[in-house]
A and B are shown apart, each in its own frame.
Chain A
Amino acid sequence: MAIRGTALQAVADVADDKAGGMLPSVHPDATPSRQSSPNRVRIIDATLACLALHGTSKTTVDDIARRASVSRATVYRVFPGGRDEVLGAVVDTEMARLFSALGVRLGEAGDLTEALVGGIVEASTRIRGHAALAYLVEHEPEMVLGHLAFDESDRLLATASRFTAPFLARWMSPMEAGRVAEWATRIVLSYAIAPSSQMDLTQPAQTAHLVKTFVLPGIRALHAADGPTAIDITPFEQGCGQPDRHAVGDAAHGRPTTPPDAHHQLSEYSNPVEQCKGATT
C-alpha cells in the first residue's frame, strides 16, 4: 500500500496552495516541488497503460520502461524510489488531471445548476472511463477501496471539496459552498462505487434530473437555515451539461477560468429566501 497517504497528501498540498484565496491551477505535469520532464510524463502514461492491463502487482519497472521506450536507468533517474514512487506519482498525476478538468468545467459554468451538473458529469465520466482504475477495482480492489471508506474517505471528501468549493462560492457563502461541494463529492463517489441502473451520472440529462430533484432544494433549505444571503440558482439551460471535449482538452494547457467575485443575482426560479420564509414560520 505504498500509494496510500502520499498520493492524497500531494493532492491536499495542491489544494492548500489556494488557501490564500488564489484559485488553484493544477497543471498535470507541473507539480511544483517535483521534477518535471517529458520523460516523467512518458513514464507515468506508460505506467497507466501497464496498470490497465496487469494491475500493480504484475507491473515491473522493466514493463514500464519498455512501454515508455526508455531505459530502466532512466526510470530510476526520474523516480529514484522505483516502482513504488512511480505508482505514487501516477495517483498524484491522475488526481491532478481530474481536478484540472473539474476546474475548467466549474470555471466555465454560467450558473450553479450548470456547475453542479457539469462537475458531477465530468468527474463521473473520468472515473468511469479510467481504464487503470477499472482494472484495479476489478482485480485489486484493496488498492482503491482504502481511499473510499471511513477516515480515508473523510480525507478524500475534504480534499475534493476544498478544491471545488471556491468555484461554488460564486453563488453562495463560503460555508455553504463547502457543504455543497462535499455533498456533490459524496454523490459522485456513491454512484461511482455502486453504479445505479436507473441513474447514470455520466449522462447530463440524468444528472440534471438528480441535481434539480434532490440537490437544489437541499441547497435552498440549507441556505434558509443558515442566513440571509441570496443564492443564485438560475434554471438549467438545455445543453449546458454537454461535455465539451475541446474545453477539457485545454485543461492541460491553460489555467482554469477564474470565477468572478461572488455576485448574488436572484432569478425568478430561485428565490430561496422568499420560498423558504413561509416554511420556517
Chain B
Amino acid sequence: MADTRQRILEATYTCVARWGLAKTSVEDAAREAKVSRATVYRVFPGGREELISAVVGWATLEFFIRLYEQVQGATSLEQVMERGIMFAHRSIVEDEVLQRVMQTEPEKLLPTLTFESIRIRQGIAEFLVPYLEQRGVAQGVNLKEAADFLARMVLSYMSAPGRWDLDDPDQVAQLVRAELLAGVVAGPGQVAGPDH
C-alpha cells in the first residue's frame, strides 16, 4: 500500500510537471503509475482533489528531506541556518515545476502550500531546538518561542529574499548572525564572517 501510494504520487508529480495542476486527472496519474483508476481511488478516496493536495504535500516533504540532508553535517546553529537558507533558496529558484506552477496557476497551488507551511514551520522549529539548546539562548529568551520565531523568519526568506542576496555566503552570514540570531543566542552578538 505504501509502495503504491508512493508510486502514484511520483507519477502524479510527473504529470503535474508535464501539464500543470489543473490538467492532471486521476486517469493521467493512473496511466503514468501503471495502476488502475480504481487503485488510485482506493488510495485517495477523495479523488483528484485529494491527489493534488497529497502531491503538493509529498513534494514539500521531499524538499525538506533534501534540506535536512544538506544541513546534517553542520556543527553550529549558525552553520545550520546559513546552509539551510542558501540551499532552500537555490532549490526554490531552480525548481522548474514549482516555478512554472507559480507562473501559470498559483491559485491552485497556494492554498495547499500555505496549509503545508504550518507543518513545515513546526518541523523547522523542532529541528532547531537541539541546536539552540547546544548553543545556549540569551537570558530571558524562551527556547520554544525563539525556535518558532526563527522558523517563521527562515520560511519568509526562503519564499522571498527581499533585499538580501541569498546566493552570497557573506550576506547570508550577516543575515543569520546579525539579524536573526543576535537576540536569540547567548553571549555577545555574532557579527563575524561566515565559517569557511
Contact = CB atoms under 8 A, between A and B. Distances in A.
Given A222-B179, A225-B174, A154 B145 contact: no
A213 B141 contact: yes
Contacts of B157: 186
B195 to A, nearest CB: 16
A179 B191 contact: no
A213 B174 CA distance: 18
A22 interface: no
A222 B188 contact: no
18 contacts: A141-B111, A141-B114, A148-B110, A149-B159, A154-B160, A186-B157, A186-B162, A191-B152, A193-B114, A194-B152, A199-B145, A213-B140, A213-B183, A217-B189, A218-B180, A225-B191, A276-B188, A280-B192
A222 B152 contact: no
Please report whether the interface of chain B is mostly helix, strand, loop or mixed according to DSSP. helix
Nearest to B115: A141
A176 B153 CA distance: 18
Interface residues of B, number: 43
Interface in A218-235: 218, 220-222, 224-225
Interface in A92-124: none
Q: Closest 3 interchain pairs by CB?
A: A142-B107, A279-B188, A217-B183
Interface core residue of A158, A198, A213, A276 (most chain B CB under 10 Å): A213
Contact of A222 (B162, B163, B178): B178
Interface string A125-158: 0000000000000000111011011111110011
B189 A221 contact: yes
Contacts of A196: 148
A149 B120 CA distance: 15
Question: Which of A142, A143, A189 is most buried by chain B, counting CB atoms within 10 A of its CB?
Answer: A142
A85 B148 CA distance: 40
B121 A194 contact: yes
A214 B183 contact: yes
Most buried by B among A148, A149, A158, A276: A149
A99 to B, nearest CB: 18
Contacts of A10: none
Given A149-B102, A221-B178, A214 B111 contact: no
A145 B188 contact: no
A194 B118 contact: yes
B8 interface: no
A145 B179 contact: no
Interface string B137-149: 0101100111011
B190 interface: yes
